[in-house]
């Protein structure tokens, strides 16, 4: 079995970017069921950006 030649993960902090479709935001804003709760919980405290 060959040894793994993968590089170890970088220790630099890299921002994580989550790209969501408008339908995800609609669920987060309008759905009162578990799907809406899950979407709102994931997006809570995140900075939302949009294209012009």
pLDDT in tens, 5-52: 676 666 677 777 777 788 878 878 888 889 888 888 888 888 877 776
Those residues with Cβ within 8 angstroms of residue 28's Cβ, 6 or more apart along the chain or in another chain: 36, 39, 40, 43
State residue 4's pLDDT score.
Answer: 64
What does the pLDDT read at residue 25? 80
The two structure tokens encoding residue 51: 């294209």
3 phi and psi, to 5 degrees? Answer: -75, 145
In the structure encoding, which two tokens stand for residue 14, read together?
């890299």
What angle, 0 to 180 degrees and rounded to 10, lies between the N-to-C axes of helices 22-30 and 34-43? 110
SS3 of residue 32 by DSSP = coil
Which pTM does this prediction carry? Answer: 0.51
């Amino acid at each position: 079995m060959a040894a793994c030649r993968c590089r170890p993960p970088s220790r630099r902090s890299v921002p994580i970017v989550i790209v969501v479709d408008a339908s995800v935001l609609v669920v987060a804003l309008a759905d009162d069921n578990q799907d809406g709760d899950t979407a709102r919980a994931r997006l809570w405290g995140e900075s939302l950006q949009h294209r012009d």
